[in-house]
Amino acid sequence: MIEFNANNFDSLELEVQERAHEVSIFTVKAVCDGLDANVDVVNVGFMKNLNMEITCEKSGFLEALTTNIHRCEEDEAYELCSRAKEWIKKLQDVEE
Task: Write b or e for each residue in 17-26: b if 16 or more Cβ atoms lie within 10 A of its Cβ, otherwise e.
Answer: eeeeeebbbb
Helix H segments across the chain?
Answer: 9-18, 20-36, 61-74, 78-95
Query: Can you give the pTM of this predicted structure?
Result: 0.92
Q: How confident is the prediction along the chain (96 residues), in pLDDT tens digits per residue? A: 899 999 998 999 999 999 999 999 999 999 999 999 999 999 999 999 999 999 999 999 999 999 999 999 999 999 999 999 999 999 999 877
